[in-house]
Amino acid sequence: MDFLQHNALYVVGIISAVIWAGVFLFMFGIERRVRKLEKEG
């Protein structure tokens, strides 16, 4: 726990980066599905 107390900013940054990466991957997946539907329609 000592690491978390002294490097809280790094922990917050890493968590934020992971969340943003998840958001971008989710949006990329939705965009691929939309393109596929547009080609079919």
Q: Each residue of 1-41: pLDDT tens digit?
A: 787 789 999 999 999 999 999 999 999 999 999 999 999 97
Res 21: pLDDT: 98
Res 4: pLDDT: 78
**Cα angle at 40 between 37 and 41, to 5 degrees?**
85
Give the domain ranges of the chain: 2-40
Write out the chain in H/E/C secondary structure: CHHHHHCHHHHHHHHHHHHHHHHHHHHHHHHHHHHHHHHHC
Take residue 31 and report the two structure tokens written for it. 């965009």
* Type of residue at 32: R
